[in-house]
Amino acid sequence: MSSKIPLAAVIGQPIHHSKSPLLHGHWLRRYGIRGHYVPMDVSTGDLRGVLRMMPKMGFVGANVTIPHKLAVFDIADQITDRATIIGAANTLIFRPDGKILADNTDGYGFIENLRQGLVDWDPKAGPALVLGAGGASRAIVSSLLQAGVPKLILSNRTRIKAEQLQGDFGKRVQVVDWVQVGNAVEAAALVVNTTSLGMTGQPEMRIPLDGLQKDTVVTDLVYNPLETAFLRSAREQGCRVVDGLGMLLHQAVPAFRAFFGREVAVTDALRAHVLGGK
Ligand code: NAP
Residue 29 main-chain phi, psi, to 5 deg: -70, -45
Measured between alpha carbons, how far is 220 from 226 in angstroms, rounded to an integer?
9
Please give the single-letter amino acid code of residue 247: M
Q: How high is the pLDDT of residue 278?
A: 62
The 10s digit of each residue's pLDDT in 185-241 is 999 999 999 999 999 999 999 999 999 999 999 999 999 999 999 999 999 999 999
pLDDT digits (tens, 9 = 90+) for 130-163: 999 998 999 999 999 999 999 999 999 999 999 9
Question: If you measure from the C-alpha of residue 197 to the centroid of ligand 1, how many angstroms do you get, rounded to a whole number?
Answer: 7
Q: Which amino acids are annotated catalytic?
A: 69
Decide whether any atom of ligand 1 lies within 6 Å of the 154 Cβ. Answer: no
Judge whether 152 and 141 are in contact, CB under 8 Å. Answer: yes
Atom 46 of ligand 1: nearest residue by CA position = 158
Pocket test for ligand 1, best of 108, 141, 157 (most atoms within 8 A of CB): 157
Judge if the beta carbon of residue 44 lies within 6 A of ligand 1: no
Mean pLDDT of 81-106: 96
Share of the chain above pLDDT 90, in %: 97
Hey, is 44 helix, strand or coil?
helix
- Nearest atom, ligand 1, residue 136 CA: 26
Q: Are strands 173-175 and 152-155 parallel, antiparallel or unpaired?
A: parallel
* Protein residue closest via CA to atom 19 of ligand 1: 157
